[in-house]
Amino acid sequence: MTSSASSIIHDVYEAAVTRNAGEPEFHQAMWEVLESVEAVIEQHPEYAEAAILDRLVEPERQIMFRVPWVDDAGRVQVNRGFRVQFNSALGPYKGGLRFHPSVNLGIIKFLGFEQILKNALTGQGIGGAKGGADFDPHGRSDAEVMRFSQSFMSELYRHLGEHTDVPAGDIGVGGREIGYLFGQYRRLTNRHESGMFTGKSVLWGGAEVRTEATGYGAVFFLEEMLAMRKDGIDGRTAVVSGSGNVAIYAIDKVQQLGGRAITASDSSGYIVDEAGIDVELLKQVKEVERGRISSYADRRAGARFIADGRVWDVAGDLALPCATQNELNGSDAATLIGNGVVAVAEGANMPCTPEAVHAFRDAGVLFGPGKAANAGGVATSALEMSQNASRQRWDFESSEEKLHAIMRDVHHSAYAASEKYGHPGDYVVGANCAGFVRVADAMLAQGLI
């Protein structure tokens, strides 16, 4: 007798938890996917026969390395670097690098695992990977960030390449870090290989709209979900967390579409600006000065800074968590629901805890999971790779139109799969099933590797 889909899924999960002990974020991301694809496993016994799930949860390759560097005081510092090359069935490994003190192998694995299905959903021919280091760029000088980045790349470069593995930014890795990392790769390999990194400056091979893409894309996805209920962003208020790359451009797009984004946050607290966030001031504080969010409130009449508390206590129609994993819990979700939230789009990766996701689902709140809602960043990275390969340069307007079309397509794929697999309108199930089927079919076709 063949096992039921449910018991196959439980067996795969339990074996993976045992094998990857002490990695709660990876377990969480894995379980969310496994429980969503039950109907797919039922309909496709060939996936279980080929052990697709068992293979999917085991990275193709994991790299961990020492990153020694010298700080401005002349002291030797040692960090740990990571690159988890999770799955290359659909294309070269692709995914960002995160520099944050909380980085460990389990966090990189959760992000790499999410990236497999997210990248599949974009339809752009990219595999899944993630990397980073437990380095904290906050308070470090440019020279320290450069020395760290150079040391990090001195090991990682041998594992990268435009047809092998193509990193990009994530938390703590933006234009400055990408410049130093790319420079060191070029020096070590003697190749100006534009297609080996995305998120580059537009001065030397970067794509228009890549900087804006994740935030803009999340709002495009939100717009598509709202349109299913004949609703829109115009006139709506949005509560946004984070004040980095994703948050800034999510706020920007909400306001371009006639909404009002009234909050932003960082690890020191949050600001409320009922008049709508002044995006130029936010960029000045966070991108140019690399300052704390309180300095926005210091300079803007009517805005206030709250050091203790939850940004999700602020009432709004729309919520966009754009900072980090598990930043919105079940109790935050209950508060948002009580305040009448109608839609949530995850700009960050896995920002909502499972309790929060269930609460939104039970309350009928539209919910766009990160692997669909924030796919615009990596999708535009794939557009950057296309431009690098063909030595073309597309302008801002046409690039934004391509991003918009991709986000409509991601929404359509996720919605169609939610219907096909028996959970219409559940974008968690839809995104996971749509992405999974693409990867599983490619793995089946390519044999046992």
Q: Number of residues in contact with ligand NDP, rule: CB under 6 A? A: 26
Q: According to the binding rule CB under 6 A, does residue 377 interact with ligand NDP?
A: yes
Q: Which is nearer to ligand 2IT, 215 or 316 (CB)?
A: 215
Integer Cα distance of 236 and 3 in angstroms:
48
130 is catalytic: yes
Stretch of residues binding ligand 2IT (CB under 6 A), selected from 25-33, 234-242, 377-385, 424-432: 377-385
Integer Cα distance of 389 and 374 in angstroms:
24
Integer Cα distance of 233 and 161 in angstroms:
40
Among 12, 246, 254, 320, the residue binding ligand NDP under the rule CB under 6 A is 246
What b/e string do you get for 40-71 counting C-beta neighbours within 10 Å, with b at 16 or more?
A: bbbebeebbebebbebbbbbbeebebebebee
Catalytic residue among 109, 130, 286, 402: 130
Q: Which is nearer to ligand 2IT, 108 or 333 (CB)?
A: 108
Q: Name the H helices within 284-374.
A: 294-299, 330-338, 354-362, 370-373
R_g of the chain, CA atoms, integer Å: 21
Site string for ligand 2IT, 335-364 (x = CB under 6 A): --------------x---------------
| φ, ψ for residue 67, nearest 5 deg | -125, 90
Binding partner of residue 246 among ligand NDP, ligand 2IT, none, CB under 5 to 8 Å per kind?
ligand NDP
Question: Whose structure tokens read 């009517």?
Answer: 302
Q: According to the binding rule CB under 6 A, does residue 207 interact with ligand 2IT?
A: no
Residue 115 beta carbon to ligand 2IT: minimum distance, rounded to whole angstroms: 6
Closest residue to ligand NDP, based on beta-carbon distance: 244
For every residue of 423-439, DSSP letters joined together read -TT-HHHHHHHHHHHHH
Q: According to the binding rule CB under 6 A, does residue 309 interact with ligand NDP?
A: no
Binders of ligand 2IT among residues 111 to 150 (CB under 6 A) are 115, 118
Distances (CA, A) of 387 to 202, 400, 446: 11, 14, 28
Stretch of residues binding ligand 2IT (CB under 6 A), selected from 226-234, 269-277, 308-316, 373-381: 373-381
Q: Which is nearer to ligand 2IT, 349 or 432 (CB)?
A: 349
Q: According to the binding rule CB under 6 A, does residue 168 interact with ligand 2IT?
A: yes
Binders of ligand NDP among residues 143 to 182 (CB under 6 A) are 169-172, 174
Distances (CA, A) of 169 to 69, 111, 412: 21, 13, 27
Question: Whose structure tokens read 């936010």?
Answer: 282
Comparing CA positions, the residue from 299, 246, 249 lying closest to residue 271 is 299
Give the distance from CA 160 to its chain's centroid.
20
Comparing CA positions, the residue from 105, 79, 124, 78 lying closest to residue 435 is 124
Stretch of residues binding ligand NDP (CB under 6 A), selected from 183-191, 227-235, 240-248, 440-448: 240-248
Strands 76-87 and 128-133, sheet pairing: antiparallel
Among 194, 294, 324, 413, the residue binding ligand NDP under the rule CB under 6 A is 324
Residue 367 beta carbon to ligand NDP: minimum distance, rounded to whole angstroms: 16
Among 123, 127, 206, 347, the residue binding ligand NDP under the rule CB under 6 A is 347
Among 377, 413, 429, 437, the residue binding ligand 2IT under the rule CB under 6 A is 377
Stretch of residues binding ligand 2IT (CB under 6 A), selected from 92-100, 270-278, 281-289, 293-301: 92-100
Among 32, 170, 177, 346, the residue binding ligand 2IT under the rule CB under 6 A is 170
Comparing CA positions, the residue from 89, 85, 92, 90 lying closest to residue 113 is 85
Residues 6 or more apart whose CB falls under 8 angstroms from that of 55 comprise 443
DSSP lists the bridge partners of residue 289 as none
Q: What is the binding site for ligand 2IT (CB under 6 A)? A: 94-96, 115, 118, 168, 170, 198, 349, 377-378, 381
- Just list the catalytic residues: 130
Task: Give me the residues that bind ligand NDP (CB under 6 A), please.
Answer: 96, 100, 102, 169-172, 174, 214, 242-247, 266-268, 322-324, 347-349, 374, 377
